[in-house]
Amino acid sequence: MFLSNKIYSIVLCILIICSSCQNQKNKIEIKTIEKLEQITLKDVSDLENININHIQNNIDLGKLNILELEGKELDSISVELIYFEYREYLNYINQTTAIINSINNLKHTLTINQKQLNTLKLDYKKSKNKRHDLDEYLKNEKIFVKTTSKEVKNINTILPQLNAKFDTLNAKIELIIYEN
């Protein structure tokens, strides 16, 4: 009886060791996916922290001021003087409208990507063998997360600059509108 329990214990230990070794085969991939998930969560958070309402208000104000400006009967000298500000003002409206669209698309894309990363991680975790068939998907996810993260960082870099530029241009445009 004692020998039987000893053999049973040894066999159980061997099985546990073998089982844990099997799970180690995909450990690096799982860690990589967890890092990608963290990056994606940070990107989602960064996008959520952008005050889209403020940007949309600036766009609406800009459109209104452009209509006001176009309704003014300005002489050719005044038109020449405001041409550059007017052009930059229009550029701001177009750029920020495009950025808002990008933000909305990125939010949707990142939500889908979070699900894909989770599914990929589960596939690796459930497998007792090395999953070389999933490695290509993981490689693509790395590239995708890097690309989307770069887009999010770019948006967060550009927006404050655009908003500061808008404030300056808006003051000039409003001065022209209300001066004449």
Q: How many domains does the chain have?
A: 1
Q: Domain for residue 14, yes or no?
A: no
Q: Domain for residue 2, yes or no?
A: no
Q: Domain for residue 63, yes or no?
A: yes
Q: Domain for residue 8, yes or no?
A: no
Question: What does the CA dihedral 33, 34, 37, 42 come to, rounded to 10 degrees?
Answer: -140
Q: What is the pLDDT at residue 76?
A: 61
Cβ–Cβ under 8 Å, residues 117 and 141: yes
Flag residues of the chain having pLDDT under 50.
1-2
CA 161-167-173 angle, 5° bins:
130
Q: Domain for residue 16, yes or no?
A: no
- 42's tokens: 């940070």
- Closest by CA to 172, choosing from 96, 84, 94, 93, is 84
DSSP codes, 125-143: HH-SS--GGGHHHHHHHHH
Q: What is the pLDDT at residue 65?
A: 87
3-class DSSP state of 75: coil
Cα–Cα distance measured from residue 41 to residue 35, given in angstroms and rounded to the nearest whole number: 10
Q: Domain for residue 15, yes or no?
A: no
Q: Domain for residue 3, yes or no?
A: no
Outline where the chain has alpha helix (H).
Answer: 2-24, 27-48, 52-71, 76-126, 135-179
Q: What is the pLDDT at residue 34?
A: 94
**Domain membership of residue 109 as a residue range:** 26-179
CATH code for the domain in which residue 47 is found: 1.20.140
pLDDT tens for 11-30 read: 666 666 655 555 567 889 99
3-class DSSP state of 44: helix
Q: Domain for residue 13, yes or no?
A: no
Cα–Cα distance measured from residue 1 to residue 9, given in angstroms and rounded to the nearest whole number: 12
What letter would DSSP give residue 98? H
Q: What is the pLDDT at residue 83?
A: 72
